[in-house]
């Protein structure tokens, strides 16, 4: 389902958000494997690196002082303070990917999505993923095995607040089956790529046909 239109188009800034544990990162990884025309915006964070993560691939791991310097310099498209750590989207790589005609995927929370929309408006497509139930969300968080019980409890306590922002998104999906949810995400992305407003080559193409 990769983009194959002969028309030039503007890139899509494609946002996936969800409460922690609802599946946005899993679906983001599936999308990156399946679609060569979209690339991940790698966030900077002050949180410690987890086992199996790679600096520069999963996140850019930086000190709090360095993060503050980048924020002060305007180096972030958006940034937020989440669970005692800071997360931000570096501006330069996003602009580079858009310049190369690629779509950019964002695995960010509602605060980041709101800031990104304020900065880039019409190029932003926001998808919010809900868990099928609170019980299933808790089960998924515990099954990760990467967080202590206190962190899981904090994420569960925060989930209701995160879910309350569902109406700030263009699309809202329930992830009760990851394959079906992934298929829906791909359908949304493909439809957004085909929007007339993004087909920058359409006017010239149509004029040639009418000549």
Q: How is residue 121 written in tokens?
A: 């408006």
- Confidence (pLDDT) at 147: 67
Calpha distance 42→45 (Å, rounded): 10
> What's the whole-model pTM score?
0.84
- Mean pLDDT of the 142-152 span: 72
Mean per-residue pLDDT of the chain: 89
Two tokens, residue 17: 């958000």
Question: For residues 77 and 106, is the Cβ–Cβ distance under 8 A?
Answer: no
> 186 near 35, Cβ under 8 Å?
yes
- Measured between alpha carbons, how far is 50 from 54 in angstroms, rounded to an integer? 9
Question: Given this model, what pLDDT does residue 88 score?
Answer: 93
In angstroms, rounded to a whole number, what is the distance separating the alpha carbons of residues 112 and 116?
6
Residue (of 38, 37, 27) closest to 183 by Cα position = 27
Contacts of residue 172, Cβ cutoff 8 Å, sequence gap at least 6: 127, 128, 129, 130, 166
Tens-place pLDDT, residues 73-94: 999 999 988 878 999 999 999 9
Q: Check pLDDT > 70 for residue 121.
A: yes
Which structure tokens are listed for 140?
């998924």
């Amino acid at each position: 389902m990769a983009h194959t239109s002969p028309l030039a188009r503007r890139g899509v800034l494609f946002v996936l958000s969800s409460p922690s544990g609802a599946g946005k990162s899993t679906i983001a990884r599936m999308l990156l494997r399946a679609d060569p025309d979209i690339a991940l915006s790698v966030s900077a964070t002050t949180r410690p690196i987890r086992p199996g993560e790679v600096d520069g691939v999963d996140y850019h791991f930086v000190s709090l002082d360095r993060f503050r310097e980048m924020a002060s310099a305007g180096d972030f498209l958006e940034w937020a303070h989440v669970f005692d750590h800071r997360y931000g989207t570096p501006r330069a790589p996003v602009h580079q990917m858009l310049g190369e005609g690629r779509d950019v995927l964002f695995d960010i929370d509602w605060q980041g999505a709101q800031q990104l929309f304020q900065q880039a408006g019409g190029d932003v497509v926001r998808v919010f993923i809900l868990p099928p139930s609170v019980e299933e969300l808790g089960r998924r968080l515990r099954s990760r095995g990467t967080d202590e019980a206190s962190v899981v409890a904090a994420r569960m306590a925060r989930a209701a607040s995160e879910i309350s922002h569902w109406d700030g998104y263009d699309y809202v999906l329930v992830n009760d089956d990851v394959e079906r949810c992934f298929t829906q995400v791909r359908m949304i992305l493909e439809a957004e790529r085909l929007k007339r407003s993004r087909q920058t080559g359409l006017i010239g193409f149509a004029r040639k046909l009418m000549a």
